[in-house]
C-alpha cells in the first residue's frame, strides 16, 4: 500500500525568538500576533499605526511594549528585528520599502503587492540591501502542504495532469469596506484567489498560460472569477474565487497514479487524502486537533533570519513575482484596474 510522507515542518516553538514590529494593527495583525505569542518564542515588541490611540489599543491588548502613531517611527525602532506589513494591498509596496530602507527585514501580507511592478520594487530593494523579505502566504509553510510538496517531489502521484482549487467567502456586500474599494486594491482576486492560484502554482510548477473570466462588483472591483491555467508540461488547473458566497474551499491534485484531496478550507491546517484511480483511499495525513497556522510562517522567517538567509526556499521571491504576474493577467482580462496603475 502506498503511504503519504510525514511532514518535515519544524515545530514553531523550536524557532529562535525575534522581536517584531507591526505596520497597521488590523484584523490580520490581531490573528497573526495571537498565533505568534501562543506558539512561538518570538514577540511583537512594537506596533505602528497612523493613529496613536489605535496603536496603543493594540499594544494594550497584546502586551506590546511600544506603540507609535506613525509608520516612520515604527521602522526606526532599534528594538525590533523585523517588520510585519499588515496594511491593505494598496499600501504594501510603500510600507515594505519604508521598512527595507530603514534596514529592517520584512514579512509582507499576501497578496504581496497590488501588481508585479510593485512586487519587483520590493524584491529589488530587499536584494539591494541584502535583507530578508518574504510573502506571508501562510499556507505554503503548513505541515499538510509539505506533505503535498513531498508527494510532488517523489512522483507519488505519477504525472500530474489536473489541479483544482476554489475559495469563496460571503464578504460582499456587507463585508469589509476595503474589499469594495478600488483605491485599496479590493476585490476577490488579491484577497481570496491568491490562495488557489498560489496552490496551483506550486502543484503545477508554474503557468505557461492564464485565461480568466468573471464578474465585477458595482464599484469596479472583481466579485468572482474562474481561472484556467496550463503548466509548462501541459497539465491544467481550474481555479475559482468569489466574495459573494461561501464555497467548499477544496483542492485536489490529480496524477496518473493517484490524487491528493484537501476537502474544505484547503489553505488551513488540514487533512490530506491519497486516493487511487479506483477511488480507494490509500492513506491520509491528519493535522493536530488545534494548530495556530499563522505561526508557521513567522517561525520560518525567524529561522531564516538567524541563518542569515534573504529568502525562503518554500516560497522564493521570484515565485512570488511570477504569481503576481499571473494575477496581473487575470485582472487585465477582467478589465480591473486600480487607481494610479
Q: What is the pLDDT of residues 155-195, one digit of tens each?
A: 999 999 999 999 999 999 999 999 999 999 999 999 999 99
Is 149 part of any domain?
Answer: yes
- What's the grid cell of residue 136? 506571508
What tens digit of pLDDT does each residue of 5-47 get?
A: 999 999 999 999 999 999 999 999 999 999 999 999 999 999 9
Q: Are residues 49 and 150 in the same domain?
A: no
pLDDT digit string (tens) for 56-91? 999 999 999 999 999 999 999 999 999 999 999 999
Rounded Cα–Cα distance for residues 254 and 148 (Å): 11
User: Are residues 107 and 83 part of one domain?
Assistant: yes
Q: Do the Cβ atoms of 163 and 204 come closer than 8 Å?
A: yes
| Residue range of the domain that includes 29 | 12-138
Within 13 A of 267's CA, how many CA atoms are on the CB side?
24
Where is the domain boundary, 106, 138, 170?
138
- Residues 325, 244, single domain; the answer is yes
Q: Same domain, yes or no, for 150 and 272?
A: yes
**Residue 303: inside a domain:** no
Interatomic CA distance for residues 75 and 24, integer angstroms: 12
Question: Do 148 and 31 fall within a single domain?
Answer: no
Residue indicated by cell numbers 485582472: 331
* Residue 46 included in any domain: yes
User: Where residue 238 sits, what CATH number does that domain have?
Assistant: 3.30.360.10
Task: Write down the pLDDT at residue 228.
Answer: 98
Which of 213, 219, 259 has its CA nearest to residue 235? 259
Residues 127 and 159 in one domain: no
Report the catalytic residues.
110
Angle separating helix axes 143-154 and 194-204, nearest 10 degrees = 30
Last residue of a domain, one of 111, 138, 165: 138
Residue 308 domain-assigned (yes or no): no
Mean pLDDT of the chain: 97
Please count the structural domains in the chain. Answer: 2
Examine the domain organization and report whether 84 and 192 are in the same domain: no
Beta bridge partners of 106: 83, 133
- Kindly report, residue by residue over 109-162, the tens digit of the pLDDT: 999 999 999 999 999 999 999 999 999 999 999 999 999 999 999 999 999 999
Q: What is the pTM of this model?
A: 0.97
Query: For the domain that residue 126 is a member of, what is the CATH number?
Result: 3.40.50.720
Which residue among 138, 170, 192 closes a domain?
138
Rounded CA gap, 306 and 217, in Å?
Answer: 45
Same domain, 183 and 152: yes
Shared domain for 81 and 152, answered yes or no, is no
177 with 249, same domain: the answer is yes
Question: Is 250 part of any domain?
Answer: yes
In this structure, what are the phi and psi dihedrals at residue 53, rounded to the nearest 5 degrees?
-65, -35
193 & 276 share domain = yes
Please tell me the predicted confidence (pLDDT) of residue 288.
81
Query: Would residue 84 count as lying in a domain?
Result: yes
Computed from CA positions of residues 88, 240, 331, 310, in that sequence, does the dihedral angle turn out positive or negative? positive
The mean-pLDDT minimum among 54-58, 291-295, 325-329 falls in 291-295
The predicted structure's pLDDT at residue 166:
98
One domain, residues 54 and 154: no
Q: Is 243 part of a structural domain of the chain? A: yes
Closest to 257 in 3D by CA, of 334, 151, 164, 181:
151
Q: Which long-range contacts (CB under 8 A, 24 or more apart) does 171-180 make?
A: 171/243, 172/217, 172/223, 172/243, 172/244, 175/243, 176/27, 178/88, 179/221, 179/243, 180/217, 180/219, 180/221
The answer to whether position 340 is within a domain reads no
Amino acid at each position: 500500500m502506498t503511504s503519504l510522507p510525514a511532514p518535515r515542518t519544524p515545530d514553531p516553538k523550536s524557532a529562535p525568538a525575534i522581536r517584531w514590529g507591526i505596520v497597521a494593527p488590523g484584523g490580520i495583525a490581531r490573528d497573526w500576533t495571537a498565533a505568534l505569542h501562543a506558539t512561538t518564542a518570538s514577540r511583537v515588541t512594537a506596533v505602528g499605526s497612523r493613529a496613536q490611540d489605535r496603536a496603543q489599543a493594540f499594544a494594550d491588548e497584546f502586551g506590546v511594549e511600544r506603540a507609535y502613531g506613525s509608520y516612520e517611527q515604527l521602522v526606526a525602532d532599534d528594538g525590533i528585528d523585523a517588520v510585519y506589513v499588515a496594511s491593505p494591498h494598496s499600501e504594501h509596496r510603500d510600507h515594505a520599502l519604508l521598512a527595507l530602507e530603514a534596514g529592517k527585514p520584512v514579512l509582507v501580507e499576501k497578496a504581496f503587492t497590488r501588481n508585479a511592478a510593485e512586487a519587483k520594487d520590493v524584491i529589488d530593494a530587499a536584494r539591494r540591501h541584502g535583507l530578508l523579505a518574504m510573502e506571508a502566504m501562510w499556507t505554503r509553510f503548513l505541515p499538510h502542504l509539505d506533505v503535498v510538496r513531498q508527494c510532488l517531489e517523489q512522483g507519488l502521484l505519477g504525472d500530474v495532469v489536473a489541479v483544482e482549487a476554489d475559495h469563496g467567502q460571503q464578504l460582499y456586500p456587507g463585508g469589509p469596506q476595503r474589499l469594495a474599494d478600488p483605491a485599496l486594491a479590493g476585490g476577490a482576486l488579491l484577497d481570496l484567489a491568491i490562495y488557489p492560484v498560489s496552490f496551483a502554482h506550486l502543484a503545477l510548477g508554474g503557468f505557461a498560460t492564464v485565461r480568466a473570466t468573471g464578474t465585477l462588483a458595482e464599484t469596479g472591483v472583481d466579485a468572482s472569477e474562474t481561472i484556467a491555467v496550463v503548466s509548462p508540461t501541459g497539465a491544467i488547473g481550474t481555479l475559482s474565487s468569489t466574495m459573494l458566497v461561501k464555497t467548499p474551499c477544496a483542492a485536489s491534485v490529480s496524477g496518473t497514479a493517484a490524487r491528493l484531496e484537501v476537502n474544505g478550507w484547503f489553505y488551513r491546517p488540514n487533512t490530506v487524502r491519497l486516493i487511487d484511480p479506483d477511488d480507494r483511499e490509500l492513506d491520509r495525513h491528519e493535522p493536530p486537533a488545534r494548530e495556530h497556522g499563522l505561526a508557521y510562517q513567522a517561525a520560518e522567517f525567524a529561522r531564516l533570519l538567524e541563518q542569515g538567509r534573504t529568502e525562503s526556499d518554500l516560497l522564493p521571491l521570484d515565485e512570488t513575482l511570477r504569481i503576481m504576474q499571473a494575477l496581473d493577467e487575470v485582472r487585465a482580462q477582467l478589465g480591473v484596474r486600480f487607481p494610479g496603475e
